[in-house]
Amino acid sequence: MPNESLKKRIAIFGSTGSVGRQALEVIDENPTLFSVEVLTAQNNDELLIEQALHFNPNIVVIGDEKKYGHVKQALGARPIKVFAGEKALDEVASMDVYDMMMAAIVGFAGLRPTMCAIAQGKAIALANKETLVVAGDIVMKKALECKAPILPVDSEHSAIFQCLVGETRNRIEKIILTASGGPFLGKKPNFLVNVKRDHALQHPNWSMGAKISIDSATLMNKGLEMIEAKWLFNLQPDQVKVVIHPQSIIHSMIMFEDGSIKSQMGLPDMKLPIQYALSFPRRIPNTWPRYDFRKPATLSFEEPDTKTFRNLTLATEALHKGGNLPCVLNAANEIAVFAFLRNRIGFLDMTDLVERTMQEIPHIEHPTMEEYFDSDGEARNFAASLIKL
């Protein structure tokens, strides 16, 4: 029998999303190393129940309070504590029942519970890039104060993190985040104006949730990753670059001050960075497919088309200007993607909506956490007013 006390206790916030489901697959394949202590979901009560019955966590939280009764009844025969609502997410994140949080709640909603976990000194496997995009200065300062390790789960940031092992005293000249270019690589506005929801969701290399798939198609995802990278690795804005790499084999690179470049490579599979974050500093074996250097025979790179995919330009502006502008960018984008997925606005309209919102909301150079939340609300309200959601 494995020694239960030696297992790393994992809390998965956002367990029914793409990253959450894949994290559970990794844990399921390594039952002697990990246990599931907390599972949370916003709306998908059926999958949450299924996961809880399989993994037997200590605590389950369903965000939608109307679904509490169903979840409670379904898990009634198990010694699983069931809670509901946004406040419960924060309270459970603050409990000392787990060792590491997999922060996989999509969007701004992930900020509060992640901050609660950091305040308790918990290790954070960070899949929610918006936490650092919105309030990276405050989050990283709090993590340092509370000695809460933040381990990146995004494939690009995981790649940089892996390349930095053993290089802590060596100065970074720049980091290069790779982007597949999404399903519309090489397309121009006259094509994109007619793009519909289902087409935009078809990513050529990665299997992801709807929100991140749309962000990848518009290149907003790469813009958000630029801002996240600044905070994760303590960089200046001009040290963060993006290059299009359609094969998605090199996940990102670091150029050091001597001109040497280190990269991390592998097949495009989110389970790899998820496993690395969960098991760090160890690497653990798996049986997943390996990259074959005979195919593809070519790895290619090109500059992003920022004239067509202007979200990358907007994100770069937010990165350089800082303050509450990345928060406003993110909030407007969440509204834009929400509207596009419901066929309320067109593909190119998303960028226009984000740009107008960034121009409208007053800039705050050094926001407090309260001002970040206020900026988020103002940006969402303004963006929604433009499309009358």
Note whether residue 315 is domain-resident.
Answer: no
Name, in order, each residue with C-beta under 8 angstroms of 343's C-beta and a sequence gap of 6 or more: 196, 197
Of 152, 169, 187, the one marking the end of a domain is 152
Question: Phi/psi of residue 331, each to 5°?
Answer: -60, -45
Note whether residue 273 is domain-resident.
Answer: no
* pLDDT score, position 204: 64
Note whether residue 172 is domain-resident.
Answer: yes
For residue 199, give the nearest of 188, 181, 209, 184 by alpha carbon.
184
Note whether residue 102 is domain-resident.
Answer: yes
Name, in order, each residue with C-beta under 8 angstroms of 150's C-beta and a sequence gap of 6 or more: 118, 123, 124, 126, 140, 143, 232
Name, in order, each residue with C-beta under 8 angstroms of 120's C-beta and a sequence gap of 6 or more: 93, 94, 96, 146, 148
pLDDT tens digits for range 18-60: 999 999 999 999 999 999 999 999 999 999 999 999 999 999 9
* pLDDT score, position 199: 84
CB-based contact 132:103 (threshold 8 Å):
no
Note whether residue 24 is domain-resident.
Answer: yes
Higher pLDDT among residues 106 and 246, named by residue = 246
CB-based contact 100:124 (threshold 8 Å):
yes
* pLDDT score, position 49: 98
Of 86, 119, 152, the one marking the end of a domain is 152
User: Same structural domain for residues 175 and 230?
Assistant: yes
Tell whether the model's pLDDT for residue 3 goes beyond 80.
no
pLDDT tens digits for range 85-110: 999 999 999 999 999 999 999 888 89
161-165 average pLDDT score = 97
* pLDDT score, position 1: 42
Of 152, 175, 201, the one marking the end of a domain is 152
Structure tokens at 183: 């399903």
Note whether residue 193 is domain-resident.
Answer: yes
* pLDDT score, position 376: 96
**DSSP class per residue in 290-306:** --BTTBSS----B---T
Residue 275 per-residue DSSP state: H
Alpha-helical (H) ranges within 234-346 are 271-279, 311-321, 325-341
User: Same structural domain for residues 164 and 303?
Assistant: yes
Q: Which amino acid would we find at residue 160? A: I
* pLDDT score, position 191: 93
Instruction: For the chain, give the mean pLDDT.
Output: 94
User: Same structural domain for residues 115 and 239?
Assistant: no
* pLDDT score, position 388: 66
351-372 average pLDDT score = 97
Query: Of 99-113, 224-238, 302-316, which gets the smallest average pLDDT?
Result: 99-113
The rounded percent of the chain whose pLDDT value lies above 70 is 96
For residue 311, give the nearest of 112, 133, 114 by alpha carbon.
133
Note whether residue 85 is domain-resident.
Answer: yes
**Number of independent structural domains in the chain:** 3
Q: What angle do CA 83, 89, 93 make, to 5 degrees?
A: 115
115-142 average pLDDT score = 96
151-162 average pLDDT score = 97
User: Same structural domain for residues 119 and 50?
Assistant: yes
Domain that holds residue 23: 4-152
Which residues are 243's β-sheet partners?
Answer: 178
Name, in order, each residue with C-beta under 8 angstroms of 74's C-beta and a sequence gap of 6 or more: 49, 53
d(CA 351, CA 308): 10
- pTM here is 0.92
User: Same structural domain for residues 9 and 95?
Assistant: yes
Structure tokens at 331: 């909030």
d(CA 179, CA 245): 6
For residue 250, give the nearest of 186, 303, 180, 173 by alpha carbon.
180
